[in-house]
Every structure is written in structure tokens, then in C-alpha cells.
């Protein structure tokens, strides 16, 4: 018989697991890893309402994508265009970034799988006589290691030609040059920290769902058990 067990700690772990997976996925897909040096506005970049020049813009560069400003042939305005600069894996600008993409992708896939499974932990608390929380916590720890490897390798690719075109000639491995770090990089770091927090907190979720109070509720014949 399936017992639906809901506790504050198990629900918090589930929500954190889902948030971490989405945060890492969004960061990986974003082009805002590096914010390039400011590009001056040209004579064509005129605000029709004020008659003044628009402020310089900052192009951004991600692991496989970029955002830049493009001009319209018949209109005196410019729009920002975002999209992948690499049509396939081999066209990613640096070998270090290729390795970063692999490690991050593996870590994110594990996190997404754990996030999916975490939704069903209310009904299923064990797999092959092993606590599903402990198994998921172990997987989250492994995912965190992959994420760390990816984030360590990423700055080593700052010396590639693509990064230099955005960050200036002073850019090199682990040196930003004229660039600054974008929100996606910080989100990836924050998500990695939360991944390890989730891995540790999974033990608390397991303790909460196997407590004496839960066992008493089961023995009383209750199928839906909600505990603070």
C-alpha cells in the first residue's frame, strides 16, 4: 500500500532540488557568462525621440551563445540579437569550454533526474531496500563534483580568440581583460553550492520521513501523513 508522507524537511528538499536543477539549466543556456567591453554607439545609433546618441552597449558571451547588437538596413535603430555562435559542439570557441559544456551538461542531467524523482518521494521512500533520499543525495553530490570541474575549467578558456574579441588583447586564461562576469556565471556558482546543500539536506529528509511519529501514523492505518 502506498503511503503519502509529507514533511517540512522532505518538501523543502524537493523544492530546493527543483530550483537547483532549473537554475543550473538556465545558467548553462544563457549567453551572459561574460560581459564584453563597451562598444561605442555609432552615428546611426540615434534616439529619434531625444535626438541624442544611445549609450554604449555591452555584448555578452556564453559557453556556446552570444548576444550582440545588429543594425537594420532601412531603420535607424539597432536591436540585440542573441543566439548560438556554435552550430555544433566542435565549433565551441575553446577546448576548455567544450570540457566545461560536457561536465555541466552531465551535472545538470543528473540534477534534472533527481528533481524529477524527488516529486515522487512523497509516495516512494525506498528503491531496492535503499532510501531514495540517500540515493538522490549521493547523486546530487556527484552532480556537484561535475559542476565544480566545469566551473574550474571555464576560466581557462578566456584566452581563446572568441573571448579576446570580446574582452580585448589582455584577456588570457583566468584573466578577464576588459570583460566582467555575468549573472549566469554567478548563478552557476550559487547553484553548485545549493547542490551540495541539497545533498546534505537529503539525509534530514530521510530522517523526517522515517521518524517514529510517521511509523505511528502508518500503524494507525493512515495513508496520508502530513507532519511539520
pLDDT value, residue 218: 59
pLDDT in the model for residue 53: 45
Place of cell 563597451: 38
Domain boundaries, the chain: 4-36+93-226
Q: Find out whether 125 and 131 touch, Cβ atoms under 8 Å.
A: yes
Phi, psi dihedral angles at 200 (to 5 degrees)? -70, -40
Query: What integer pLDDT is reported at residue 214 of this predicted model?
Result: 62
Distance CA 159, CA 180 (A): 14
Task: Taking the CA atoms of 166, 169, 170 and 171 in sequence, report the sign of the dihedral they define.
Answer: positive
In tens digits, the chain (228 residues) has pLDDT values of 556 767 788 889 999 999 999 999 999 999 999 998 877 655 444 444 444 445 677 889 999 999 887 655 444 445 678 889 888 899 998 999 999 999 999 999 999 999 999 888 877 767 777 888 889 999 999 999 999 999 999 999 999 999 999 998 888 999 998 899 999 999 999 999 999 999 999 988 888 777 666 666 656 666 555 655
Residue 11 vs residues 18, 62, 136, 192: alpha-carbon distances, Å: 11, 33, 14, 20
At 75, which helix (H) or strand (E)?
Answer: none
- Rg (the chain; Cα; Å): 23
Q: How many other β-carbons are positioned within 10 Å of the β-carbon of residue 139?
A: 17
Quote the CA–CA distance of 228 and 226 in Å, as a whole number.
7
**4-36+93-226 is a CATH 3.20.20.140 domain:** no
The whole-angstrom separation of Cα 149 and Cα 101 is 10
Q: Are 31 and 82 in contact (CB under 8 A)?
A: yes
**CA–CA separation, 154 vs 97, rounded Å?**
6
63 contacts 93 by C-beta, under 8 angstroms: no
Name the β-bridge partners of 67. 60, 82
Amino acid at each position: 500500500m502506498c503511503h503519502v508522507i509529507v514533511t517540512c524537511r522532505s518538501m523543502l528538499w524537493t523544492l530546493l532540488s527543483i530550483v537547483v536543477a532549473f537554475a543550473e539549466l538556465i545558467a548553462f543556456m544563457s549567453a551572459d557568462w561574460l560581459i564584453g567591453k563597451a562598444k561605442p554607439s555609432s552615428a546611426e545609433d540615434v534616439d529619434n525621440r531625444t535626438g541624442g546618441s544611445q549609450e554604449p552597449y555591452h555584448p555578452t558571451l556564453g559557453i556556446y551563445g552570444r548576444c550582440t547588437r545588429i543594425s537594420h538596413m532601412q531603420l535607424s535603430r539597432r536591436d540585440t540579437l542573441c543566439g548560438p555562435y556554435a552550430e555544433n559542439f566542435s565549433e565551441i570557441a575553446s577546448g576548455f569550454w567544450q570540457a566545461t559544456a560536457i561536465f555541466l551538461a552531465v551535472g545538470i542531467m543528473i540534477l534534472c533526474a533527481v528533481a524529477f524523482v524527488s516529486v515522487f518521494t512523497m509516495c516512494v521512500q525506498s528503491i531496492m531496500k535503499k532510501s531514495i533520499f540517500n540515493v538522490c543525495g549521493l547523486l546530487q553530490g556527484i552532480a556537484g563534483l561535475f559542476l565544480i570541474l566545469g566551473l574550474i575549467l571555464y576560466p581557462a578558456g578566456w584566452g581563446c580568440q572568441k573571448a579576446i574579441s570580446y574582452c580585448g588583447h589582455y584577456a588570457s586564461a583566468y584573466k578577464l581583460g576588459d570583460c566582467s562576469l555575468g549573472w549566469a556565471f554567478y548563478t552557476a556558482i550559487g547553484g553548485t553550492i545549493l547542490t551540495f546543500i541539497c545533498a546534505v539536506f537529503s539525509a534530514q529528509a530521510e530522517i523526517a520521513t522515517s521518524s517514529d511519529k510517521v511509523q505511528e501514523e502508518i500503524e494507525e492505518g493512515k495513508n496520508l501523513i502530513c507532519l511539520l
